[in-house]
Amino acid sequence: MISICIPVYNFEIDLLVKALSPQIESADAAVELIVIDDNSRADIKTRNKASCQNCKYIELSENIGRSKIRNLFLNYASQDYLLFLDCDSLIENPRFLQNYLETLKQQAKVVCGGRIYGPRPPGRQQRLRWKYGVCKESQPCESRKKQPYKSFMSNNFLIQRRVLEEIRFDERITQYGHEDTLFGYSLAKNQIPITHIDNPVLNGDIESNTEYLRKTREGINNLTAILNYEEYHQDLIQDISLLRFYDKIRRFENIVLWFFLLKKPVINYLLSKGYVNLQLFDFYKLGLFIEQKRKRSKTKNTKT
């Protein structure tokens, strides 16, 4: 009935596999566990392979990216539903798998379980990722239901095989950021309903401020590229808060960019050192977006 799909890159999954194994064994339905490694370090692959003695374990010879690897699970999954879990997920609920199995009785096509973060703040070097996650991503089920497509996250979701075969992750997205945004947008465009339930995983890997800022830059770069894809039009702007805000201040972007470039070193320093203000972080992303959009536009004009 369910193929649990875990894409892995440079992260040990021993705890996740140990949490899932007894739930799989006690399930009253067919459940398989599939792990695909996206060309991690050799030591990581060795340890993960040892943890996956009772599951399908596949190693890729080259890194193919976050979207393509999710689509690849269709080649290995034998069940009618695929449950995707990020490799850094921690499962604390002993009924986690059973909760998903029960949603299938309702003929659900896509089910999102949610994500939570530990209540205690980590050290200052990890404060940015934690605070953003707690304030922006850890949304209770009832809040997610109000905007089911905008609340879609790919870290913990169940999907009917036939739906994923028709609406795949956009494989042009190879780096971190917005692959789930585009997938949620495609689900909405094709009127595929999303069911939100209270079945979260705990984020088990809080990145350092420096690493999260690097990933943020990757995500903004993805976003500027997405805007050049012909099939994503004005509707997408309403799905992404950064684009909605940019659309409102577009006529002032020269001033915003000037101020951002002036203050960028200071902002980057404050955020990297864990002096976290989410409004400052939002401005940082807005400035990056305008800066990268300008660079992409210049490159495009040079080529033409």
Domain count across the chain = 2
Q: How confident is the model at residue 259 (pLDDT cuts 50, 70, 90)?
A: very high
Q: Kindly state the DSSP code that residue 62 receives in the 8-state scheme.
A: S
Q: Are residues 260 and 164 in the same domain?
A: no
Q: Are residues 77 and 197 in the same domain?
A: yes
From 145, 171, 206, the end of a domain falls on 206
Q: Are residues 232 and 246 in the same domain?
A: yes
Q: Are residues 95 and 232 in the same domain?
A: no
Q: How confident is the model at residue 85 (pLDDT cuts 50, 70, 90)?
A: very high
Q: Are residues 134 and 250 in the same domain?
A: no
From 206, 233, 260, the end of a domain falls on 206
**Cα–Cα distance measured from residue 250 to residue 245, given in angstroms and rounded to the nearest whole number:** 8
Q: Are residues 262 and 116 in the same domain?
A: no
Q: Which domain holds residue 138?
A: 2-206
Q: Are residues 193 and 218 in the same domain?
A: no
User: For residue range 188-220, what is the model confidence (pLDDT) as tens digits?
Assistant: 999 999 999 999 999 999 999 999 999 999 999
Q: Are residues 98 and 44 in the same domain?
A: yes
Residues in the chain: 304
Q: Are residues 157 and 298 in the same domain?
A: no
**Cα–Cα distance measured from residue 38 to residue 45, given in angstroms and rounded to the nearest whole number:** 10
Q: Are residues 125 and 269 in the same domain?
A: no
Q: Are residues 39 and 106 in the same domain?
A: yes
Q: Identify which of 280, 115, 262 has the alpha carbon closest to the alpha carbon of residue 213.
A: 280
pTM score over 0.85: yes
From 178, 206, 234, the end of a domain falls on 206
